[in-house]
Chain A
Amino acid sequence: MTSLQSESGTPVAASRVDLSTEIPSPGGPLRLAHPIMPASGTFGYGEEFEPFVDPAVFSAIIGKSISRERRTGNPPPRTIETPAGMLNSIGLQNPGLDAFVESYLPRMAQYGVPVIVNTVGRTLEDYVELTRVLDVEPAVAGFELNISCPNVNEGLQFGLDPEATRALVAAVRAETKLPIIAKLTPNVTDIGEQAVAAEEGGADCISVINTLVGMSVDWRKRGSRLGRATGGLSGPAIRPVALRMVWQASQAVSVPICGIGGITRPEHVLEFLVVGASTVQVGTHLFRDPACLTRWLDEIRDLAHDEGLERLSDLVGTFEAAG
């Protein structure tokens, strides 16, 4: 692979590879220093990571889903390891909107990178109210709508029905000019259809995927190893599915895609970019290596540089289908 030459003929330093990207929105683009964010629910609200890493190493931060009311979450056991992954049934434990605005948001804002709030509701009105309240908070830079959580009997219905998805996003759109990222579930037959519905509703970005519904069964107990029958599968096991869905979604819509699912290495970030994601989120891997990003950004610059890329974004959507 040819390495980049500057005008003077010397190689361009890897440190000069431009990793920046943006999510356009009616209120103007959200500029990001690089494409990598933490996945909702795997990053706490940032403070849990402070002992290990400056949360601002991520280009934007996304905390666990926030609902209007405080949620206690599901009964334990809530997690179980599975081959190359894990199942969780956390059940959206969260402090609720008021406590979030009062005590969590100010702290998240201090990190100095954009705060994207992941919201979840039982009804369309819940999402609208969450957006209305949060939109006026200066610390909020954007929204990720969790219309896809498999561990509660709600939210998900929006993600399963294109009409409902379109109506929900449109209702939220009416409340904010900030970027809206619609987080889709993989538990559908046609991800493209869902992505189109979200785009038509006014989403600025589509994030895929949330966890895949799965089970872990203790046959002697005739029951689940989790406190509930099913849980959400995450980790490397779902990466092939996530790549496929990002690819399909990116072909169906023109808004940017945020790729999520099983990223555990810098190369995986590049794989997601190739199939059409312009940003990515790292989830389960953060449990194993909470500070991985302190190394990854340099490694990604090196990989991009070796490939002759000046801008990482040049890689987005370069996938060439065989045949």
Chain B
Amino acid sequence: MTGRRVSNQPRSGVAINAPQSQPDECQSDGHAKNRLQPSALYPVASNRDLGENWFDLVVDAPMLARNSRAGQFVQVAVGEEDEPLIRRPFSVCDVLPQPGPDAAQIRILYQVVGPGTRWMRSLRAGDSVDLLGPLGNPLPQPELPDDGELFLVGGGIGVAPLFLYSRELQLERPERKFRVLLGARRKSLLVGKDGFLEHGISIEVSTDDGSDGHHGNVVELLHGLVDGRPAGTVAGIGCGPHGMNVALRDFAVERDLPFWISLENYMPCGFGACFGCVIEAPAGSPTKYRRVCLEGPAFPAAELPAVF
């Protein structure tokens, strides 16, 4: 009676691809001891210290890597047994060697901020890490006219989903013009910048203290680049700290620009079961609140409530 795989999709139509048993992963990596379950143990390939409390975790997980799209996240079981109790959500920052059928690893870019991420920092190559996912919805690829341009706006750790997103655009929509704008408090916190450059993706940066790029915040930088462009030629994706998300929402809504903003609400389950991660839904929706994990984590700016 155990183990029957049900492949239905949740009501929202979100595709969640959870591995139930993946013989290919068991065999390919030699970690036969890892019993792959829906929340599976995956071998850590590397966990690099990038400085400034940022780390770059690479995990051997072919099934996850093949199924993950930019904007989706994995829930990491941090700690031993059940302390900390609640999994921690992290965006899939990249899949290696590249998105598509050959993908074999996923990358997580994370900042150490508390007990869960401190535990992640201690992971070494060869250790196992328990991941659940990919969860949530992929980021949309908005339609734009030929002269249109897509703006990917990241603040701090919000760069993570934008990286995979720009890789997907490069591979799948080579004709699509897009720009990556990154903001941070100071130059040394512009982690992730090099990754874009390595893939030939040009980026523009802003720092609060003026130590690199535009002196100011990233929404101001966006302002300078967008204003004056013809209507209907700009769309964007944003992901950053709460303050940036609010400023970006206000910016996009005032100008009626189609921007999607990815939220990082606290998520006890990540797959829709607890109703713990909700934000207010737009007026006229069937329910007053909606689940960020299942319906998001990115939402059109115009649909975000006054307080989120």
Contact = CB atoms under 8 A, between A and B. Distances in A.
A287 B86 contact: yes
A293 B38 CA distance: 11
Interface residues of B, number: 45
Interface string B52-94: 0000000000000000000000000100011111110000000
B128 interface: no
Interface string A31-62: 00100000001111001111111111100000
B6 interface: yes
Contact of A236 (B85, B271, B288): B85
Contacts of B6: 50-51, 53-55
A202 interface: no
A5 interface: no
Nearest to B8: A50
A26 to B, nearest CB: 28
B37 A78 contact: no
B273 A49 contact: yes
Given A53-B38, A54-B6, A81-B85, A43 B273 contact: yes
A41 B268 CA distance: 12
A88 B86 contact: no
Given A48-B271, A93-B289, A76 B278 contact: yes
Contacts of A294: 2-3, 37-38
Interface residues of A, number: 48
Contacts of A48: 10, 269, 271-273, 294
Given A51-B17, A72-B289, A93 B83 contact: no
B182 to A, nearest CB: 28
B293 to A, nearest CB: 10
Interface in B250-304: 265-266, 268-279, 287-289, 294
Nearest to A80: B266
B85 A79 contact: no
Interface of A: 33, 41-44, 47-57, 64, 72-73, 76-81, 84-86, 88, 90, 93, 95, 235-236, 264, 284-291, 293-295, 297-298
29 contacts: A41-B274, A44-B273, A48-B271, A48-B272, A49-B273, A51-B7, A53-B6, A54-B4, A56-B4, A73-B275, A76-B289, A77-B266, A78-B277, A78-B278, A79-B277, A85-B85, A90-B274, A90-B276, A93-B275, A95-B287, A284-B85, A284-B268, A287-B86, A287-B270, A288-B87, A291-B20, A294-B3, A294-B37, A295-B37
